[in-house]
Amino acid sequence: MTNDRLVIGIDLSTQSCTVEARRVEDFEVVARQRLPLASTTPPVSEQNADEWWEALVQAFHLMKADIDLQAVRAIGVSGQCHGLVPLDGDNHVIRPVKLWNDTTSAPQIDALITRFGADYWAQRVGSVPTAAFTIGKLAWLIENEPATIARLHRILLPHDYLVFKLTGEAVTDRSEASGTGYFNSQSNSYDFELLRGCFGDVLMWESLFPRVGQPNDVAGTVLPDVANLLGLPTDVVVTVGGGDQHMAALGLGINDGDIVFSLGTSGVVYTSSTVPVTSGIVDGVANVVGGYLPLACTLNCTKVTDWAARLLGVSVQELDQLALDAYRSHDPFPVFAAYLDGERSPAYPGTTGVIAGLTSDMTREQFAEAIFVGVIAGLLRGLDAIHQSGVSTDGRAIAVGGGARSAAYTQIIADLLGRPIDVIREPEATARGACIQALSAITTGDVVIVARDQQPSVLATVNPQGHLSWDEVRDRYTSVCDYAASTAHLRS
């Protein structure tokens, strides 16, 4: 049990709610709890917001055995992006939250993009929305659930909801707001003209959304009854928080031009930039330090290798070794478009996975290799798009997330990219970033300075071995992806 001053970082992901405590003095982790959340399966992917809160409360109660929660001074909150949390006039959640990977709004998004044109969206909000974006979920509700719309008083995003429960304040930040499809991160304002152009006056737009805080802002202090429930003092400050990948970038202390491969259930590749991106071929979202975080997100990453391991009846560690055995042999392998749950980047929400190049002498080792290369190729295609948007990507290359523990993932990325890959020691970069934001609120007041001072160490550097290059893979891979784009009718 420690009596040192503490900060708390919360990470609300799709799969779990993680609460992490760090000492103010040396930023070491002193406690961590992770509570699982109900699993979802696209195209319909929904969770109950009240279960997020219940998981957070349980995590705090479990942490009492390890730390003195009265020593907590500040809390930072991060969460999965894009999900639409609908509240009524009494601030009760009206219906389950449609998550980022819910693709049921694909027809509504297609209609909006066709109506206004992709360039219109890129210039107005920095990105061409996909079914992941909040505006698509809003369009779906307007079209399919008029009773929900009639009760709708406020829209929050997932991390906003936890901040709201903690403080009673409806606050978001630039990073989360920029993934809605109705916020301009250059002017730092909601685009009410765009919303009226899309939907008319079906809702009272000016009062519907949370205020948008800036990187060093505090959202408020923990409510007295919440402090009592969680075992906290009543003067704990809560920062504005941020989106999951954006907060992970803060936790990693990345610089402009650094590339991060986030290898989780979904995959994300991103960099940091001081210049806004409006190319429309990547998500030109904001970061949590006042700049921008151009990124490409794939729906299918470690969930695909988990699936392949189950299919072969092996552990994920055994699948890793099978893939490496084939990879080092230089034998031909099939080409895999890993669109098991459709895809976000590129926007193929209804597609299916496709594997091409099967032969009667294919081994399970070659099959395993194809799975890893297919997942990674999707991220490298996204990196190509970031580069084509005019953003520098010549800094460090970093791997984080569960997949970063896999030798197959990291070695194949290093080879395809032709650059060393740093594997970061910190297993919870997002919660770490939330702790950095909390620490800045009670120390310097400047999150950039704190992030620079608390850069994590490198666990390992994986060097390319020259087995394979992206130039060798790109054309074969994209041709299979082009076919996969036409397979939506095959999904049962």
Can you give the residue ranges of every domain in the chain? Answer: 6-243
Q: Tell whether the model's pLDDT for residue 401 goes beyond 90.
A: no
**247-269 per-position pLDDT tens digit:** 999 999 999 999 999 998 889 99
Which residue among the candidates 244, 341, 384, 422 is catalytic per the annotation?
244
Q: How many CA atoms lie within 13 A of 89 on its CB side?
A: 3
Coil, strand or helix at 271: coil
Q: Tell whether the model's pLDDT for residue 106 goes beyond 60.
A: yes
Q: How far apart are CA 292 and CA 273, in angstroms?
A: 5
- The CA radius of gyration of the chain, in Å to the nearest whole number, is 22
Name the one residue in this structure whose structure tokens are 């949370």.
Answer: 210
Dihedral sign of CA atoms 218, 219, 225, 227 in order: negative
Q: How far apart are CA 322 and CA 316, in angstroms?
A: 10
H or E element at residue 424: strand 421-424
Q: How far apart are CA 20 and CA 159, in angstroms?
A: 15
**161-211 per-position pLDDT tens digit:** 999 999 999 999 999 999 999 999 999 999 999 999 999 999 999 999 999
pLDDT of residue 492: 63
pLDDT of residue 100: 94
Q: How far apart are CA 103 and CA 96, in angstroms?
A: 15
Q: How far apart are CA 345 and CA 481, in angstroms?
A: 11
**416-447 per-position pLDDT tens digit:** 999 999 999 887 899 999 999 999 999 988 99
Domain 6-243, classified CATH 3.40.50.300, yes or no: no
pLDDT of residue 345: 86
Q: Which residues pair with 21 in a beta bridge?
A: 8, 31
pLDDT of residue 1: 55
For residue 454, give both structure tokens: 């608390």
Would you call the peptide bond into 464 cis, given omega within 30 degrees of 0 as the criterion? no
**59-102 per-position pLDDT tens digit:** 999 999 999 999 999 999 999 999 999 999 999 999 999 999 99
306 carries an active-site annotation:
no
Tell me what the pLDDT averaged over the chain comes to: 95
The amino acid at 196: R
Q: How far apart are CA 335 and CA 371, in angstroms?
A: 8
Q: Tell whether the model's pLDDT for residue 3 goes beyond 70.
A: no
The amino acid at 59: A
Non-local CB neighbours of 83 within 8 Å, separated by 6+ positions: 47, 97, 98, 99, 100, 134, 137, 157, 158
**Selected residue with higher pLDDT from 401 and 175:** 175
Q: Tell whether the model's pLDDT for residue 397 goes beyond 90.
A: yes
Mean pLDDT of 273-289: 93
Q: Are 320 and 407 in contact (CB under 8 A)?
A: yes
Burial (0-12, 13-18, 19+ Cβ within 10 Å), 302:
buried
Q: What percent of the chain has pLDDT over 90?
A: 90
DSSP class per residue in 392-421: ---S-EEEESGGGG-HHHHHHHHHHHTS-E
Q: Are 318 and 162 in contact (CB under 8 A)?
A: no
DSSP class per residue in 428-481: -HHHHHHHHHHHHHHTTS-HHHHHHHTPPPEEEEEPP-SS--HHHHHHHHHHHH
Non-local CB neighbours of 436 within 8 Å, separated by 6+ positions: 9, 76, 250, 251, 447, 450, 451, 454
Q: Which residues pair with 337 in a beta bridge?
A: 354
